[in-house]
Structure 1
Amino acid sequence: MKHPSGSQLGRMRLAAAALLLMALAACAAPFKADVSRFQSQLPAPSGQSFAIVADDPKLSGGLEFAQYATIVRDRMARVGYAPVEDPARATLIVRFDYGVDGGRERVRSTGVGVGGAGYWGPWYGPYGFYGRSRFGGWGGPWRYGWYDPFFDNGVQSYTVYTSGVSLKIDRAADGQRLFEGKAEAVSSSNRLQYLVPNLVEALFTDFPGNSGETVRITVAPEKK
């Protein structure tokens, strides 16, 4: 068996170091949120008040829901709508929901081996959000580049999570739906304390948006 020369070993070490740096950069990279919004006769903010309720009854009254609802309330108020606590006094009812799935392990062949030429590429998969039955989905595979510096017969394994938030606005007087929006993302984090505020921020970027249009918003990386 022919052993690698000193120069070959040097090149292999440099390649491994480069991959390690790329891996660290990928872990700190922002993720992309897909934002889809639909509206029908959503009134201008002036003279309109709103109250936030849980779209999922199981979240109603929870401290965690209250924390995230405060973020939504602040964003709605920043747009110009007036918040009220009592839904009976509001002209608009805002229904909010959020969640993250249990994660999916991904195994991928990289073609990297001792003395071999390595490469990296995207993984594929229609990752299911735990609440797709409530939130629906856009279909189509996610594609995302991922680096891994470790050589293990050309096989990598890692976990990714799908998270999402949903916002619905109804007219209080007759219950007519005026707005539906959702933001969904795949990332290496499953921390709702990080995911939900960023997904809400993505959902309210250029709110209310163009009806029927799906846009991709860059979400800040999680601070470790």
Structure 2
Amino acid sequence: MTSARPSRSFGFWAKILAAPLLVAGVAGCATPFKADVSRFQTQLPAPQGKTFAVVADDPAMQGGLEFELYADYVETEMAQLGYALAPAETADLLVSFDYGVDNGRERVRTVGTGFADPWGPWYGPGFYPRRSFYRGGGWGYGWYDPYFGGPEVRSYTIYTSGIDMKIENRATGERLFEGKAEAVSTSNRLQHLVPNLVDAMFTDFPGNSGETLRISIAPDDGDKTVKRLN
């Protein structure tokens, strides 16, 4: 893979950060990986006899060892569909690919005990997506009293990750496919996130144009469930 597509702006990650997303993996490693996948397409050519190459959407990433690792996952998925890998200079289709994860943000969760509190009502357990001064002690968003049953406050860091994939006709430049897979999790390890995001992107590929799916991938056996969001 020697060719690279023109660089994009950083608007992709701004859109990811602004989008309402689900939380994947908050409960631990046994929790299924969940991603929201949006795809748009015209008629992709039949795989038989068609070749493709995966290139970096950001030229600075092209040829990097990390990019090559993640590009291999995309190549494997395209090959399983029946397309043949070829050099970027001669391929029928160019598959541009981008990935990333943000720096994380703190999320605060309050857990009520169900007992009465003489200092006033607590309005149930829930997530409060804002920063808090609470850091592992008994004080934070509200007062936790083990005798009167106030809410316990817990904080943790969540990360937003995503991949962006486009497919073009190399000869004409016609855009044939656009897709995004996005997830929020307590992990920022791209080595774990990117393969799962690619797996979600290619679930029921190429999908219905304009449809957003919530895809859940079981951690042990790879079984998937798909929920249509629109």
TM-score (norm: length of structure 2): 0.69
The secondary structure found in structure 2 opposite 1:99 is strand
Q: Name 2:99's counterpart in structure 1.
A: 98
Matches within 5 A, 1:22-33: 26-27=27-28, 28-33=30-35
Q: Which protein is richer in helix relative to its size?
A: 1
The secondary structure found in structure 1 opposite 2:27 is helix
Q: What is the Cα deviation at residue 208 of structure 1? A: 0.5
Q: What is the Cα deviation at residue 219 of structure 1? A: 3.0
Per chain length, whose mean CA-contact separation is higher, i.e. which structure has more relative contact order (CA < 8 Å, sep 6+)?
1
Distance in 2 (CA, whole Å) between partners of 1:205 and 1:103 is 27
Q: What is the Cα deviation at residue 25 of structure 1? A: 8.8
Q: What is the Cα deviation at residue 91 of structure 1? A: 0.5
Q: Name 2:195's counterpart in structure 1.
A: 197
Q: Name 1:74's counterpart in structure 2.
A: 76
What CA RMSD, in Å, does the superposition of the two structures yield over aligned residues?
A: 2.8
Matches within 5 A, 1:58-137: 58-84=60-86, 86-112=87-113, 120-124=125-129
The secondary structure found in structure 2 opposite 1:155 is strand
Letter of the aligned partner of 1:212 in structure 2? G
Distance in 2 (CA, whole Å) between partners of 1:61 and 1:25 is 34
Distance in 1 (CA, whole Å) between partners of 2:138 and 2:123 is 9
When residues 38 and 114 of structure 1 are mapped into structure 2, their CA distance, relative to the original with a 3 A threshold, is: same
Q: Name 1:42's counterpart in structure 2.
A: 44
The secondary structure found in structure 1 opposite 2:178 is strand
Distance in 1 (CA, whole Å) between partners of 2:204 and 2:193 is 19
Distance in 2 (CA, whole Å) between partners of 1:118 and 1:180 is 42
Distance in 2 (CA, whole Å) between partners of 1:45 and 1:198 is 24
Letter of the aligned partner of 2:198 in structure 1? V
Q: What is the Cα deviation at residue 26 of structure 1? A: 1.9
Structure 2 unmatched ranges of 5 or more: 1-24, 131-136, 145-151, 221-230
Distance in 1 (CA, whole Å) between partners of 2:129 and 2:102 is 17
Q: What CA deviation, in whole Å up to 9, does each residue of 1:161-184 have, x standing for no partner?
A: 110111100001111100001100
Q: What is the Cα deviation at residue 155 of structure 1? A: 1.9
Would you say how many aligned residue pairs link Structure 1 and Structure 2? 175
When residues 112 and 59 of structure 1 are mapped into structure 2, their CA distance, relative to the original with a 3 A threshold, is: farther
Check the 8 A contact 1:110/1:118 in 2, yes or no: no
When residues 100 and 220 of structure 1 are mapped into structure 2, their CA distance, relative to the original with a 3 A threshold, is: farther
Distance in 1 (CA, whole Å) between partners of 2:218 and 2:161 is 15
The secondary structure found in structure 2 opposite 1:26 is coil
When residues 151 and 78 of structure 1 are mapped into structure 2, their CA distance, relative to the original with a 3 A threshold, is: farther
The secondary structure found in structure 2 opposite 1:45 is coil
Instruction: Find out whether 1:169 has 2:167 as its counterpart.
Output: yes
When residues 42 and 106 of structure 1 are mapped into structure 2, their CA distance, relative to the original with a 3 A threshold, is: same
When residues 115 and 183 of structure 1 are mapped into structure 2, their CA distance, relative to the original with a 3 A threshold, is: same
Letter of the aligned partner of 2:97 in structure 1? F
Check the 8 A contact 2:108/2:127 in 1, yes or no: no
Letter of the aligned partner of 2:191 in structure 1? Q
TM-score (norm: length of structure 1): 0.70
